[in-house]
Amino acid sequence: MLWLINSLYRLYIQISFTAPLLGNLLLLLLIALLGLIIFAFVYYIGLLGPAQKGQRRRLIPPRVPEVKTEAASETLKAVRQQVTQIQDEVARQALLTRSREIESILDRGELLVVVFGTGSAGKTSLVNALLGRMIGEVGAPMGTTEVGETYSLKLKGLNRQILLTDTPGILEAGIAGTQREQMARELATEADLLLFVVDNDLRQSEYVPLQHLAEIGKRSLLILNKIDLYGEPDKEKIIARLRQRVRGFIGPSDVVAIAANPESVELENGEIFEPEPDIMPLIRRLAAVLRSEGEDLVADNILLQSQRLGEEARTIIDNQRRQQAEKVVERFQWIGAGVIAVTPLPVVDLLATAAVNAQMVVEIGRIYGCELNMERGRELALSLGKTLASLGIVKGAIQLLSTALQLNVATYVVGKAIQGVTAAYLTRIAGRSFIEYFRHNQDWGDGGMTEVVQQQFQLNRRDEFIKAFVQDAIARVVKPLTDNSETELEPRDYNNQQQDW
């Protein structure tokens, strides 16, 4: 553009002497081009029409960063798919309700600020002070919940609505206090911004929850309340210690000192003076954080809540599957024990290859959504049986159970029952090992099958478990032998066991 103007100027100089009219027209063109440059410059740096620009901003609804929003939406879709697998109707409906609540928050774009801390730190005084001094509109309470009251605030310069929630104090005594603290902690994990209130240096019981909330991604301001009770030197020392304690997860500028409800002072004339709350440092910092980080705070929290909901759904499904799989293991362990008890093997070490049968492996895999054929089930069972033998677990199980049985039944019965009881015990170890295998998407982990089997053996050799297991074995295996009667098995199960073992 500058080159064009310079060229036109030179052309004007050349023709103005011979054709003044044409020169004047060229001059007008030059002036128009200059005006166009100035207009474009002013427009693109945002100096033109501030009122119109502000109006355009008001018409644009608040939006969170698209990448995080999309991630949260995808997670919520996955949660709804997972929920269909949950058999517990109460748990399923609770997860669906919470997923809808998260979607509603995403649509409304509200900022949730939660006040958290001990009951003596002055949380309610802080809320009252903010309601009276906050720049903007203050609405009526939105309703009392089990964990406190929530108020609606409107901060000037911020398009989003602010919800300010007061929570019960933590570290309260008694069962009721513990329950209120748990509810307060749950609400704190749902906050976009947390105001953690203290009235002195952080105690360890306060530091731990604050650090935990920071670890899960909560943005926090640490509020030192009741500074009117301290002299200037003491106040500076406490603030310095607080900043040192939380260094690494709360910045120095996010440690704010206030006096939400200063103590009254008696004047010389006997009158009582009620000082105004000193919370302007908090208001300034709160406004700065919400204006500069509000969009990201909402996006991060929505993504965090959706991820936590997904983890909760996976935990419920995992517990459900584990319970179903353990019932399968228990059923097969006593079926195997009955088969071995009535048809004992000549060599007890052969139990190493017969500790688990293919049908049990297939059924456990089906519970975890993995369809295996019988051939694959036999391969897995044989592989784990060899591992049991190579680790000496078969021999260890015989010794462990022989000792336990001798303390409960006559010695002559032990010899007849030991194979069946040991088979049940080894089937349990193998079955629980396969539960871990399928839980981790058919992966034995870094330590391989050996580590998983050893871990299950250690878990199932504890005294309290052995006592309960032996008592159950006496009723299911030993007692039928002493009564000289065969263990009653369903024909289908018995035939399957003979084939599989």
Query: Does any domain span residue 234?
Result: yes
User: Which burial class, exposed, middle or buried, applies to 449 when counting CB atoms under 10 A from its CB (0-12, 13-18, 19+)?
Assistant: buried
Q: Tell me, yes or no, whether 127 lies in a domain.
A: yes
Q: CATH number of the domain at 308, please.
A: 3.40.50.300
Same domain? 74 vs 8: no
Dihedral (Cα; 448, 451, 453, 455), 10-degree rounding = -150
Distance (Å, whole) CA 279 – CA 284? 9
How far apart, in whole angstroms, are the C-alpha atoms of residue 60 and residue 64?
Answer: 12
Q: CB atoms < 10 A from the CB of 462, how many?
A: 10
Q: Residue 152: beta bridge partners?
A: 163
Residue corresponding to tokens 């599957």: 321
Q: Based on the domain organization, do 442 and 419 belong to the same domain?
A: yes
Identify whether residues 98 and 52 lie together within a single domain.
Answer: no
* In-domain check, residue 256: yes
Residues 338 and 454 in one domain: yes
**Domain end among 38, 59, 80:** 59
Helices 174-189 and 204-215 cross at an angle (nearest 10°) of: 30
What is the longest distance spanned by two Cα atoms in the chain? 136
Within a domain: 448:
yes
- Nearest-angstrom CA–CA distance, 358 and 205: 52
The Cα–Cα gap between 310 and 302 comes to: 12
Q: What is the pLDDT of residue 410?
A: 63
170: DSSP letter: B
Complete DSSP assignment for 181-210: HHHHHHHHHT-SEEEEEESSSPPHHHHHHH
Domain end position, chosen among 37, 59, 81: 59
Same domain? For 252 and 284 the reply is yes
* 224: nearest Cα among 281, 173, 268: 281
Q: Are residues 285 and 352 in the same domain?
A: no
Q: Quick one: 294 and 368 in the same domain?
A: no
CB 448 within 8 A of CB 455: no
- Domain containing 210: what range? 66-262+273-313
Tell me how far CA of residue 250 lies from CA of 169, 191, 208, 217, 299, in angstroms: 21, 16, 14, 11, 20
pLDDT tens sequence for the chain (501 residues): 677 667 767 777 777 767 777 777 777 777 887 788 887 777 776 654 444 434 333 334 444 445 667 777 777 888 888 888 888 888 888 888 888 877 777 677 778 899 988 878 888 888 888 887 554 444 444 433 345 678 887 777 777 778 888 888 787 667 777 777 787 888 788 888 999 999 988 888 889 888 988 888 888 999 999 999 988 899 999 999 999 999 989 999 999 999 988 888 777 777 888 888 898 999 889 888 988 888 788 777 878 888 888 888 889 999 999 999 999 999 988 887 777 766 655 544 444 445 567 889 999 999 998 989 988 888 888 888 888 888 888 888 888 888 887 777 665 566 667 778 888 888 899 999 999 999 998 999 888 999 999 999 998 888 888 888 888 888 887 777 666 544 444 444 434 444 443
Q: Residue 202 in contact with residue 245, Cβ under 8 Å?
A: yes
pLDDT of residue 354: 53
Out of 13, 41, 59, pick the residue that ends a domain.
59
Report the first-to-last Cα separation within the chain, whole angstroms: 91
Q: Do residues 17 and 88 both lie within one domain?
A: no
In a domain, 236, yes or no: yes
For residues 305-319, one letter each, b for 16 or more C-beta atoms within 10 angstroms of the residue's C-beta and e for the rest, the string is bbbbbbebbeebbee
CA distance 305 to 190: 7
User: Within this chain, do residues 335 and 453 fall inside the same structural domain, yes or no?
Assistant: yes
Domain assignment present for residue 267? The answer is: no
Full-model pTM: 0.60
Counted domains in the chain: 3
User: Is residue 126 one of the residues assigned to a domain?
Assistant: yes
**Residues 107, 136 share a domain:** yes
Spatial separation of the C-alpha atoms in residues 286 and 273, rounded to whole Å: 29
Q: Residue 373's CB: how many other CB atoms inside 10 A?
A: 10
DSSP state of 137: E
CA atoms lying within 13 Å on the CB side of residue 444: 16
pLDDT given at position 476: 84
Burial of 451 (C-beta count, 10 Å sphere; 0-12/13-18/19+) = middle
Residue 12 lies in a domain: yes
In angstroms, what is the C-alpha Rg of the chain?
37
Residue 164: strand, helix, or coil? strand
Question: Do residues 141 and 23 share a domain?
Answer: no
Contact between 329 and 428 (Cβ < 8 Å): yes
How many angstroms separate the CA atoms of 365 and 372, rounded? Answer: 7
For tokens 């504890």, the residue is 462
What's residue 75's pLDDT?
Answer: 79
Residues 92 and 42 in one domain: no
Residue 77, amino acid: K
